[in-house]
Amino acid sequence: MRHLFTAIAFVIAAFSAHATEAKNIVDYEKHPDMYCLALNVYYEARGSNLADQAAVADVVMNRVRDTRYPNTICDVVYQAKTKPSWKTGEPVPIRNQCQFSWYCDGKPDIPAKGDAWVNAQQVAYLMVYLEQYRGITEGATHYHADYVNPRWARDFQLVGRIGEHIFYRWE
């Protein structure tokens, strides 16, 4: 019942955000995994339909549950090969060496205010707290946009296409 009230409050906050200016509905400090998932949905599928956005989120959740990947949403989303920063010495992702390309494309990772960001946060909330849409990809752990043909795809079992992405799982 508590989740139902939280979900209602979340939806009310989302719609009130539409009334003025869309903003962060998800508090990163209180819910870092939900925020990381929302970022991934936003950057990977913001221009696509709800099913595609849910499928992208489902892949992240499938990876969290798979022992071959990190065991938190943020660790899955930010999984990358790194090198020491020339400024600070801290590890930074190597361009084009991330699990999700947006994370290491060299662009700032601050979503634009608007409906796409609100929608991504809603999908993340529904996936994390209510497990809505779970299983839409039938266990897929990989995907790519329909306009590319990556080499790695032939090493996995094709699950199918949802929206603008093609989904795969381990054989």
Are 166 and 144 in contact by the 8 Å Cβ rule? The answer is yes
3-state secondary structure of 157: strand
How big is the CA angle at 132 (ends 127 and 138), to the nearest 5 degrees?
90
Query: Which residues in the chain show pLDDT less than 50?
Result: 1-22
- Say what the pLDDT of residue 171 is: 87
First to last CA, the chain: 39
Domain regions of the chain by residue span: 2-137
- Say what the pLDDT of residue 51 is: 97
Q: Tell me how far apart the alpha carbons of residues 89 and 98 are, in angstroms, rounded to a whole number.
A: 19
| Class of CATH domain 2-137 | mainly alpha
- Say what the pLDDT of residue 11 is: 47
**Which amino acid, one-letter code, is at 93?**
P
Alpha-carbon distance values, 154 to 59, 69, 150, 158, 167 (Å):
18, 20, 8, 8, 12
Q: Tell me how far apart the alpha carbons of residues 91 and 94 are, in angstroms, rounded to a whole number.
A: 9
